[in-house]
């Protein structure tokens, strides 16, 4: 290998030196020779230890990938990278080293830069976050290099710099919760609590005490000490109200008051309690549409709708599929003690073409089951489960049944109506009300769509 030809390039790399497998110098840059105070040309073919007794390169001779090493020598503290050197046939010819930090002064400068960088990150000026707290999601967990995902990250960063209320909308499994965590962890409230409440999973009669707490003795069965609600728990931090679209109508004015007045009333409390909480909400239904149908208060909507963030469904960024699949596989390898390396091309194409109703969550389930079926280190088409998860609409089957669009509309309508009926235990008045249609029309639809009760 002719290193001399590369001289000008090599000179820009601080502390560059390359040795052969015997530990003899193949190349030393002028800059490096100066650093050691030796004559550059006379070092070629000489034992590196003569000039550089504390080198880690001899010990690291068989590394496969670059490794970072630390020095504490008479020249000061150094941080370098040792990297393996192979010829064009892949045969090892030696090992090289270059410096990241050549002395203590540089190191202190670097430490200052790093602090400045972190401050910048925390003030929302850059997209890279180095976090030492891996217990929660950060912006780094939001994968995808596509334009829509870049835009999403940009929006998260700018949102984090504010204190405004946020509505995160998106289909199920698109990462709404991830986004809420990322905003909190980038905001200046990140040292404070992130409290979550799911408006859909709490019975209507308990939601008030969950949100606002109660005073001791305020009702039979109340704890003697009273109870703090989520608002008080989240004081100075962030309160994430998931599935806000399911917040009962009766609770909505109380939430509005808390947001407007920045104080809450415990059940049975005498005095309002001031709270400083940043509110992030998530919904998988269009809140504006709910307002239109009278299912969500307009005044509350406008109070919540300061910043809107949409999480895109997987089908709008199929180019991120490969990266996301790879990351899911790596996570599941750790979780399940497996060592799968990836999916084959055929499988990747198939996964890209599927319609992911449950988005990344559903993709994850499909990959998990495929990993369990897979017999070698790669996932093949035959490993994908035989369920219809993520399958595209079968056009031919629909066409065989007549007008495709009409069929698709009917299928969608049937699904919605059945879900709503289920929610209201078959009560048609409430279902019709919820659907925003008159009761007779609901009966007509049930008949036309052949919905059995
Ligand atoms: N951009 C992304 N990159 C990597 N993983 C993601 C991304 N978006 C979502 N996920 C993963 O997908 C799963 C679902 O995400 P999350 O729970 O945030 O979705 P959601 O929108 O809140 O869904 P739901 O409406 O059903 O509650 C999680 O395992 C999450 O880690
Ligand atoms: Mg969620």
Nearest ligand 1 atom to the CA of 178 is: 18
Domain 139-311: assigned CATH number: 3.40.50.300
What is the CATH architecture of 399-448? Answer: Orthogonal Bundle (1.10)
Q: Whose CA is nearest to atom 7 of ligand 1?
A: 175
User: What's the rounded mean pLDDT across residues 15-36?
Assistant: 90
- What separation in Å is there between the alpha carbon of 388 and the centre of ligand 1? 21
Domain 314-383: assigned CATH number: 1.10.8.60
Helix (H) or strand (E) holding 299: helix 298-304
pLDDT of residue 132: 34
pLDDT of residue 300: 97
Q: Which residue has the tokens 């670059």?
A: 66
Write down the mean pLDDT value for the chain.
86
pLDDT of residue 126: 40
Rounded Cα distance between 270 and 284, Å, is 37
Say if residue 63's pLDDT is above 70. yes
Q: In the chain, list all ranges with CATH 3.40.50.300.
A: 139-311
Say if residue 279's pLDDT is above 80. yes
Q: Could you tell me which CATH class the domain 4-102 is placed in?
A: alpha beta
Rounded Cα distance between 182 and 158, Å, is 12
What pLDDT digit, counting tens, does each position of 178-200 carry?
Answer: 999 999 989 999 888 999 999 99
Ligand 1 pocket test: pick from 175, 310, 332, 359 the residue with the most ligand atoms within 8 Å of its Cβ.
175
Q: In the chain, list all ranges with CATH 1.10.8.60.
A: 314-383
What are the tokens at 300? 């509350």
Q: Give the SS3 label for residue 143.
A: coil
Ligand 1 pocket test: pick from 361, 362, 390 the residue with the most ligand atoms within 8 Å of its Cβ.
361
Q: How many CB atoms lie within 10 A of CB 354?
A: 20
pLDDT of residue 9: 82
User: What's the rounded mean pLDDT across residues 420-439?
Assistant: 87
Ligand with minimal distance to 328 CA: 1
Res. 418 pLDDT band, cuts 50 70 90: confident
Extract long-range pairs of 145-150: CB within 8 Å, 24+ residues apart. Answer: 145/319, 145/320, 145/323, 146/317, 146/319, 146/320, 148/312, 148/316, 148/317, 149/312, 149/317, 149/320
Q: How many CB atoms lie within 10 A of CB 297?
A: 18
Answer yes or no: is the C-beta of 312 below 6 A from any ligand 1 atom. no
Written in H, E and C, the secondary structure of 381-437 is HHHCCCCCCCCCCCHHHHHHCCCHHHHHHHHHHHHHHHHHHHHCCCCHHHHHHHHCC
Answer yes or no: is the C-beta of 168 below 6 A from any ligand 1 atom. no
Q: Which segment of 52-66, 70-84, 378-392 scores lowest on mean pLDDT?
A: 378-392
How much is the pTM?
A: 0.62
What pLDDT digit, counting tens, does each position of 161-175 carry?
Answer: 999 999 999 999 999
pLDDT of residue 247: 96
Answer yes or no: is the C-beta of 237 below 6 A from any ligand 1 atom. no
pLDDT of residue 50: 86
Nearest ligand 1 atom to the CA of 176 is: 21
Answer yes or no: is the C-beta of 309 below 6 A from any ligand 1 atom. no
> Percentage of residues in the chain with pLDDT exceeding 90?
53
- What separation in Å is there between the alpha carbon of 220 and the centre of ligand 2? 34
What pLDDT digit, counting tens, does each position of 106-153 carry?
Answer: 666 676 677 666 666 655 544 333 333 333 688 888 999 999 999 999
Which of 21, 56, 26 lies closest to 40 in space, CA to CA?
Answer: 26
Answer yes or no: is the C-beta of 175 below 6 A from any ligand 1 atom. yes
Ligand 1 pocket test: pick from 174, 197, 285 the residue with the most ligand atoms within 8 Å of its Cβ.
174
Burial class (CB within 10 angstroms; exposed 0-12, middle 13-18, buried 19+) of 25: buried
Strand partners, 17: 28, 97
What pLDDT digit, counting tens, does each position of 379-388 carry?
Answer: 999 998 655 4
Q: Which residues surround ligand 2, an ion (CB under 5 A)?
A: 176-177
pLDDT of residue 136: 66
What pLDDT digit, counting tens, does each position of 205-255 carry?
Answer: 899 999 999 988 777 666 667 889 999 999 999 999 999 999 999 999 999
Q: In the chain, list all ranges with CATH 3.30.450.20.
A: 4-102
């Amino acid at each position: 290998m002719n290193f001399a030809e590369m001289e000008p390039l090599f000179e820009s790399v601080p502390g560059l030196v390359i040795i052969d497998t015997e530990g003899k110098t193949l190349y030393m840059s002028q800059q490096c020779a100066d650093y050691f105070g030796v004559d550059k040309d006379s070092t070629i073919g000489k034992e590196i230890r003569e000039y550089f007794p504390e080198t880690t390169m001899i010990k690291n001779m068989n590394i496969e990938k670059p490794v970072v090493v630390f020095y504490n020598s008479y020249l000061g503290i150094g941080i370098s990278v040792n990297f393996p050197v192979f010829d064009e046939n892949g045969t090892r010819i030696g090992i090289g080293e270059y410096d990241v930090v050549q002395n203590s002064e540089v190191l202190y400068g670097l430490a200052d830069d790093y602090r400045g960088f972190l401050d910048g990150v925390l003030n929302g000026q850059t997209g890279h976050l180095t976090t030492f707290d891996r217990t929660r999601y950060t912006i780094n967990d939001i994968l995808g290099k596509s334009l829509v995902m870049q835009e999403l990250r940009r929006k998260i960063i700018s949102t984090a710099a504010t204190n405004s209320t946020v509505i995160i909308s998106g289909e199920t499994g698109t990462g709404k919760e991830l986004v809420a965590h990322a905003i909190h962890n980038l905001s200046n409230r990140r040292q404070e609590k992130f409290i979550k409440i799911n408006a859909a999973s709490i019975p209507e009669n308990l939601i008030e005490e969950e949100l606002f707490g109660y005073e001791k003795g305020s009702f039979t069965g109340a704890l003697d000490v009273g109870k703090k609600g989520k608002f008080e728990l989240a004081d100075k931090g962030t309160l994430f109200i998931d599935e806000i679209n399911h917040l009962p109508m009766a609770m909505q004015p109380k939430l509005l008051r808390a947001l407007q007045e920045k104080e809450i009333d415990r059940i049975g409390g005498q005095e309002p309690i001031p709270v400083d909480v940043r509110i992030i909400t998530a919904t998988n239904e269009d809140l504006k549409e709910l307002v239109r149908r009278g299912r969500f208060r307009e005044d509350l909507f406008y109070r919540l709708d300061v910043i809107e963030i949409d999480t895109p469904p997987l089908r709008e960024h199929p180019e991120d599929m490969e990266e996301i699949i790879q990351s899911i596989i790596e996570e599941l390898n750790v979780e399940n003690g497996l060592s799968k390396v990836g999916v084959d091309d055929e499988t990747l194409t198939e996964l890209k073409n599927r319609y992911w109703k449950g988005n990344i969550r559903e993709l994850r389930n499909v990959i998990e089951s495929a990993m369990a079926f897979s017999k070698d280190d790669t996932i093949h088409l035959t490993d994908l489960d035989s369920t219809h998860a993520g399958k595209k609409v079968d056009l031919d089957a629909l066409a065989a049944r007549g007008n495709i669009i009409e069929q698709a509309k009917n299928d969608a309508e049937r699904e919605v109506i059945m879900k709503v009926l289920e929610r209201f235990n078959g009560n048609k008045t409430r279902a019709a009300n919820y659907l925003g249609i008159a009761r007779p029309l609901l009966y007509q639809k049930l008949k036309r769509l052949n919905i059995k009760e």
